Amino acid sequence: MEIKRYKVLFADDEYWTREKIRRIIPWEKYSLEFLEPAGDGEEVLRRISEEKPDILITDINMPYVNGVELLRRVQEEYEDIITFVISGYDDFSFVKDSFLAGSINYLVKPVGKIDLVNALSKALEIIGERQAKLEEEKKQQTALQKASSFIQDREFSQLLDMKTAPYTMNTALNNHMEFVGASLILIKIHNLQEFVQMYDHDMNLLSFSIKKRLREIAGEGNLLIFNHVYRSNEFLIAAELKEEQVERIAVRILKDFSTITDCPVTIIESEHRFSMDDLNEAYVQDISCMMLRRFGGGSVFLKAGKVKNAESGSIVSRISEAQMKEIQSCLKAHNLPGLKKLLFEEVGLARCAKEQWTYLEVRQSVQRFVNYLMEYYSKKMDAGAMLDAQSLLEMADKAAEQMDEEHLCEVVAEIMEFFLNAAQPETSDSIKNGILKAVAYVEEHFQENLSLSALAEQFHVESSYFSRMFRKETGENLMLFICRKRMQRAVEYMGDTDKNLTEIAFMVGYDDYTYFNKVFRKMMGKSPREYRNAIREETGRLCGNETSSEEEKS
């Protein structure tokens, strides 16, 4: 990291004094830049605004503008500059006047190296204290802005829910936010992981920063911009804008986001509404429109309710009844390769982007397939395994949301492995060591967006073989292993921090609180809120018992 150098300007009307101070210490070793000295106070005032010194050292007796007057002017006009005096006069009145004019020290000529270093150290200490104070104030301001941003997000997110909207409408809207004929613009970032890394897993900072970026990009006046607190990858803009204005904003957002992320972004404009009371209806319309977008990696801008929308089309059932019977045959024969070939090649899930399936068709096909597996094996699995199977179904649904064909197929293949529990070959020592290293890596990086193929490549093992070996060594499917690690860390955060549950979900790798809530409830038997309340009650009870014990001793 580059070390900041602070600028020092010295003023004295004697040439030899200026040269002596220039050479008296190695300025650069003290992280100081010694500017070309000035010959008088007038020159200092002329140069100071351009060269911006951090420290000013001045003589008292100089022509045009003397040292005391110079110090007064600097104190009035450039209060951040640290000043002190080196002078041949030791008269008390000069010393007093210099201190009254803001000087932090008064050195008498001939000045020694130690005295100069001590004076400079004091000046740097003051600069450091000021910077620390400014940084602390900036942190506090940022914390308040993030808190305010989250409160607004929470209030408006409730308006998107049909059940809670009537109860929160009056408290959430201020008079200046009463839109008439407003439309709702949904901006969905399908994979938020790049942003998560960028903002160091600080959900509130990420939300605040992206909203600020959206406002700057939009460049319009009365916009309501908020982040869906339960689906962190959704940002919404409510505004009274003409269609051409919305389109300009959408194009600018897509262009800007393409410079910072490779993940797809979907922007949808709802039909115009009569008032903000219909915000939840507009949101449902936007989500419905998103279901009809083509599956794949490209970013798109869609207009809901448009009959001739290029993204709309008839929804077809991608798995035929004949193929469902073939799936059943594969399951009876315990034929994992045949099952993969059937779903990925014959049904075409591995070509869903190329063949332009809609997002809804992909989701429905995956859900139908996994639900059938669950139904087929339901009598052969215990309750715990069925809960794991349900978690896998939700993981597949989440994978589809990322619009990544390869990742989706990996997740579905993992699900097949889970259900069929394919025969596991003997493991060589080298493979076993590789799997153990992979387990250690996953334990360290569980909050990241890990994939089977990336891990298999990293540890030089074929992906389906890696999956089987991982399960053999850990007794658990890779995705469930990651999921369980995330839940364990979430529980730790609940007990050790005061962060809200949405932040905790974000910190352990979930950008969708609703999904985190479902997974947590399945694995821990309680909702995150119920679990945290139980922790706090237990902590309070233990603290009460400790207090009682101390009272008994006394």
Q: Check residue 268 and give its pLDDT.
A: 94
Q: Tell me which residue of 79, 99, 20, 87 sits closest to 58, measured CA to CA.
A: 87
Q: Are 385 and 322 in contact (CB under 8 A)?
A: no
3-state secondary structure at position 226? strand
Residue with tokens 């000087």: 103
Q: Are 137 and 212 in contact (CB under 8 A)?
A: no
Task: Please state whether the predicted TM-score (pTM) of the whole model is above 0.75.
Answer: no
Q: What are phi and psi of 112, to 5 degrees?
A: -90, 160
Q: Which residues pair with 182 in a beta bridge?
A: none
CA distance 453 to 457: 6
Averaged over successive runs of 10 residues, the pLDDT of the chain (554 residues) comes to: 81 92 90 92 92 92 88 90 87 74 84 90 90 85 78 82 50 47 87 78 84 87 85 89 88 91 90 69 88 88 66 68 91 88 94 92 91 84 74 83 90 87 52 75 81 78 75 79 88 84 86 84 86 83 55 42
Q: Are 483 and 494 in contact (CB under 8 A)?
A: no
Q: What are phi and psi of 266, to 5 degrees?
A: -115, 130
Helix (H) or strand (E) holding 554: none
Q: Report which DSSP code applies to 379.
A: G
Please report, for residues 150, 428, 448, the alpha-carbon distance to residue 441 in angstroms, rounded to integers and kept in the order given: 33, 20, 11
Q: Check residue 178 and give its pLDDT.
A: 52
Q: Tell me which residue of 56, 64, 61 sits closest to 37, measured CA to CA.
A: 56
User: How many CA within 13 A on the CB side of residue 258?
Assistant: 11
What strands lie across the sheet with 55-58, from one edge to the other? 32-34, 6-11, 55-58, 82-87, 103-108
* DSSP secondary structure string for all residues of 424-465: -----HHHHHHHHHHHHHHHHHTTS---HHHHHHHTT--HHH
Q: Check residue 172 and give its pLDDT.
A: 44
Residue with tokens 């959408």: 250
Q: Check residue 424 and give its pLDDT.
A: 45
Q: Check residue 501 and give its pLDDT.
A: 87
Q: Check residue 444 and give its pLDDT.
A: 84
